[in-house]
Structure formats: structure tokens, C-alpha cells
């Protein structure tokens, strides 16, 4: 599969990725190599990676789960790097999904004012979303990705063998971002997704490659999210608030990122149909598909106010105003849209009923 060239690094695929990684490590002559994994990827993915990796390394393991994407985990890894005598000529190889590569990139970019890192994406979500764009960061005070910076890896490896290690729920989670690209940027991709008969026996390679192409095209045009890159936030204004609300709750089951974004896609497409010309028939088709794929998440009306309050902390807001990306029709987007709370509540009710 063809290598994708980002601004100053490459996204490389399948067996070729391991060959190019080996050539890169040999050429750069790092003083030490650290492999960052979580408790899941250490067990399921690290052996696959090491079957092709022949260099001396040391492993650092963190707990798995979004609840550990915080500064306390960063401090733990910074301590370990210091204990292991990492220096500015060291490199970190992050092996995991989006949570792991987000926090691993942030850790590397801030340790000793920045050391190199490579991302090995092991989840569908990580491959199609976190693999491109240079966003690193952690959650703070329960809010998603509040602390972070832009920093590019030296290379990103995409190997679909890792997808076989995923639970079904995690594989489905990654589909939300692919659907987002289809709705906002490439309707042919959305049509390809709808045509899948059995996602668990489907070769995802082409969908992954096209999704990464799309994100790379958008990020290359607008690396710091001043304009067109904002379309990558479609579904995320409501989706992130829902995700955070469930994450903070002591009684609700935590949602995957994709499950929350899927809710956001339905809600924000509903708003698009009310404020612009998005087809009601296509909206209903999207809702039916989302609920069939992701299941139906119960949100009580008593939860709405807390979700609305969380939206006010969204890092994309300007002067305290919540800003949305909306669609006039497929791939015809509007950015920095204001939406009344009444319509947001309507949208949440539309998702539910």
C-alpha cells in the first residue's frame, strides 16, 4: 500500500512499515530506545511488533483506559525515563491506540524540551484519526485533551494485523471517524461504509488508507486548525461532551470515543438539517445506521444540562461561545456556527427517539 507523506514524516503501511522503521533506526543511531505500551498493548500487540524489531530497547508500561490519560501518568513515565537515564538523543516508540499515542507524543515532546517519537497505531480509531495531525495531549480536570501541543512523530506505522487483537467494541469504535470523513469530505467513503455486510470479517485496509489520506490532505492545508481543519471536529462538539459526561459519572458505563462521536454525528447532522439544507431522509438513514452499528446509548433528559455545561469547556470555543461545524449537504460544510441550546436539546432528543 502506498506510503502517505505528511508535512515532515511518513505514514507507512503493512510489512513495508517494519522494513522502513529498521532502516530509520539504523541510520539515526539513537542513544537509547524506549517502547511505551499500556497493559493491553503490552500483552496483545508488543509481541507482534517485536517479531520484526531487532534493536535493544526498554519497555515502559502504563494502565490502559482514557481515565489514565492525565498528567499523573505523564509524571510516572517522565520519572521512569529519568531513572532509565534517557537523554535528548533517545527515542520513544508509542505502541497503542489514540489514547496511547496522544499521551506518548506529549510525554516525548515535553521531556528534556522534546525527544523524538514514533507512533505504531494498533486500533482502528488510532489508525484513521490519531495517526495524522500532530496533536498530542492529555485530559485535565475531567475535560478532554485540555493540555497538549502540536508535535509530529518521526514516522507512523500502520499494520492491520493489530486489528485482530481488538475486542469487537473497539473495532466498531473506529468506524465513527471513518463515517465522519465520509459525511464531511468524501461521500464515496460513506457509501463504501454503508455497503459493508459484516464489519468483523471485512478487510479494512482501503478504508483506513483513504481515511488517512483525507485527514492528511486537510491537516496539510491547515496545520493549526484556523479554517478547513475544523471540519475534522464534525460530530465532536456534542460527542466530546457526551464522552466526558459518561467518563466523569460514577454510575454510567464509560463510552468508547467512537460511541460518543457517533451520537455527536447524529445530533450535529440533525442540527444541520434544521439550520441548513441537509436532507431529512439522509439524516434518518444516518441515525438508523449509527444505531444498528453502535447500539442505542441511553441519555436521560436530566443529563442534558450537564452535557450542555461541558460543551462550554470545549477547547474550540471562542470568547465563551460554543462553535459547531455543520453541513449544508454532504461535503459542503459551514464552520464556526452558533447553535441555540434549545436546538441542541432537540438534537439529543432526536437521537434518543
The pLDDT of residue 315 = 67
Q: What is the CATH number of the domain that holds 314?
A: 1.20.1090.10
Is there a single domain that holds both residue 142 and residue 224? Answer: no
pLDDT above 80 (res 43) = yes
Q: What is the CATH number of the domain that holds 10?
A: 3.40.50.1970
The pLDDT of residue 320 = 74
Mean pLDDT value across residues 322-329 = 95
98 lies in which domain range? 4-165
Is there a single domain that holds both residue 89 and residue 44? Answer: yes
The 10s digit of each residue's pLDDT in 256-307 is 999 999 999 999 999 999 999 999 999 999 999 999 999 999 999 999 999 9
Is there a single domain that holds both residue 177 and residue 96? Answer: no
What is the signed CA dihedral for 128, 116, 44, 290, rounded to 10 degrees? -20
How many domains does one find in the chain? 2
What DSSP string runs through 119-142?
A: EEE-SHHIIIIITSS-EEEEEETT
Note whether 127 and 174 are within 8 A (CB): yes
pLDDT above 80 (res 319) = no
Is there a single domain that holds both residue 98 and residue 40? Answer: yes
The pLDDT of residue 184 = 96
pLDDT above 70 (res 133) = yes
Other beta carbons within 10 Å of 225: 17
The 10s digit of each residue's pLDDT in 19-29 is 999 999 999 99
Is there a single domain that holds both residue 124 and residue 222? Answer: no
Q: Tell me the pTM.
A: 0.92
- Domain end position, chosen among 137, 165, 193: 165
Is there a single domain that holds both residue 86 and residue 196? Answer: no
The pLDDT of residue 257 = 94
The pLDDT of residue 37 = 98
234 is written with which cell numbers? 464534525
Amino acid at each position: 500500500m502506498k506510503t502517505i507523506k505528511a508535512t515532515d514524516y511518513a505514514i507507512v503501511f503493512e510489512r513495508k512499515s517494519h522494513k522502513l522503521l529498521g532502516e530509520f533506526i539504523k541510520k539515526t543511531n539513537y542513544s537509547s530506545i524506549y517502547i511505551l505500551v499500556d497493559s493491553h498493548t503490552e500483552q496483545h500487540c508488543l509481541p507482534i511488533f517485536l517479531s520484526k524489531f531487532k534493536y535493544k530497547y526498554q519497555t515502559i508500561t502504563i494502565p490502559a483506559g482514557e481515565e489514565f490519560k492525565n498528567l499523573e501518568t505523564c509524571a510516572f513515565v517522565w520519572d521512569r525515563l529519568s531513572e532509565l537515564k534517557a537523554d535528548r538523543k533517545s527515542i520513544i516508540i508509542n505502541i497503542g491506540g489514540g489514547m496511547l499515542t496522544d499521551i506518548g507524543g506529549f510525554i516525548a515532546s515535553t521531556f528534556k524540551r522534546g525527544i523524538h517519537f514514533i507512533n505504531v497505531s494498533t486500533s482502528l480509531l488510532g489508525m484513521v484519526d490519531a495517526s495524522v495531525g500532530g496533536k498530542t495531549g492529555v485530559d485535565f480536570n475531567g475535560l478532554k485533551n485540555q493540555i497538549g501541543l502540536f508535535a509530529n512523530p518521526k514516522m507512523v506505522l500502520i499494520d492491520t494485523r493489530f486489528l485482530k487483537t481488538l475486542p469487537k467494541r473497539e473495532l466498531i469504535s473506529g468506524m465513527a471517524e471513518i463515517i465522519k470523513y465520509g459525511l464531511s469530505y468524501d461521500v464515496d467513503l460513506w457509501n463504501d461504509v454503508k455497503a459493508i455486510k459484516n464489519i468483523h470479517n471485512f478487510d479494512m485496509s482501503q478504508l483506513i488508507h483513504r481515511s488517512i489520506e483525507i485527514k492528511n490532505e486537510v491537516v496539510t492545508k491547515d496545520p493549526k486548525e484556523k479554517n478547513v481543519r475544523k471540519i475534522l471536529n464534525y460530530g465532536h462538539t456534542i460527542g466530546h461532551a457526551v464522552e466526558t459526561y459518561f467518563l466523569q459519572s460514577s454510575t454510567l458505563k464509560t463510552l468508547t470515543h467512537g460511541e460518543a462521536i457517533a451520537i455527536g454525528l447524529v445530533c450535529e447532522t440533525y442540527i444541520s438539517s434544521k439550520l441548513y439544507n441537509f436532507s431529512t431522509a439522509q439524516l434518518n438513514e444516518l441515525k438508523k445506521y449509527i444505531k444498528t452499528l453502535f447500539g442505542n446509548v441511553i441519555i436521560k433528559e436530566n443529563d442534558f444540562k450537564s452535557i450542555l455545561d461541558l460543551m462550554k469547556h470545549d477547547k474550540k470555543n471562542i470568547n465563551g461561545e460554543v462553535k459547531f461545524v455543520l453541513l449544508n449537504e454532504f461535503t459542503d460544510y459551514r464552520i464556526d456556527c452558533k447553535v441555540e441550546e434549545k436546538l441542541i436539546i432537540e438534537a439529543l432528543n432526536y437521537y434518543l427517539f
